Amino acid sequence: HVQLVESGGGSVQTGGSLRLSCVASGHTKDNYYMAWFRQTPGKEREGVAAIDSDGRTTYVESVKGRFTISRDSAKSTVYLEMSSLKPEDTAMYYCAAAPPTAAMQVLAKDSYKYWGQGTQVTVS
């Protein structure tokens, strides 16, 4: 079993920056895909960014050039650096992890087995 704990959320003004962190513990594997999702009330959980064990990244179009996902395997931590934040970025942000599979859709929530509890980001 894998436990994920997010931190770093908060309230920020439009144009500001935040860095989210997600620490993994338990039976973690360095080859796992790690990802960040976000969700607002009444909407589907949306994949924001994903990173594989080799550092290859994938982003949803709306955050390209503004968000950066990275991982520190030695610390079992994945980060999401967010800049030029917009009100539409307001959401609960979730960390997710999963072993890689063939033809994996890395920004699809059904691809991920392990989830954190979320951290709220509010942009006003």
Quick one: three-class SS letters along 5-46? EEECCEEECCCCCEEEEEEEEECCCCCCEEEEEEECCCCCCE
What pLDDT is stored for residue 30 in this prediction? 79
Picking from 85, 98, 89, 83, the residue whose alpha carbon sits closest to that of residue 29 is 98
pLDDT at 103: 87
Helix or strand (DSSP H, E) at 80? strand 77-82
pLDDT recorded at residue 4: 96
Closest CA to 39 of 119, 124, 123: 119
Q: How many CB atoms lie within 10 A of CB 77?
A: 16
Confidence band of 5 (pLDDT split at 50, 70, 90): very high
Rounded to an integer, the average pLDDT of 2-15 is 97
- CA 91 – CA 39 distance, rounded (Å): 5
pLDDT, tens digit, 9 for 90 and up, residues 65-117: 999 999 998 999 999 999 999 999 999 999 999 999 888 999 999 999 999 99
The band of 31, judged by pLDDT with boundaries at 50, 70 and 90, is confident
Is residue 26's pLDDT more than 90? no
Share of the chain above pLDDT 70, in %: 99
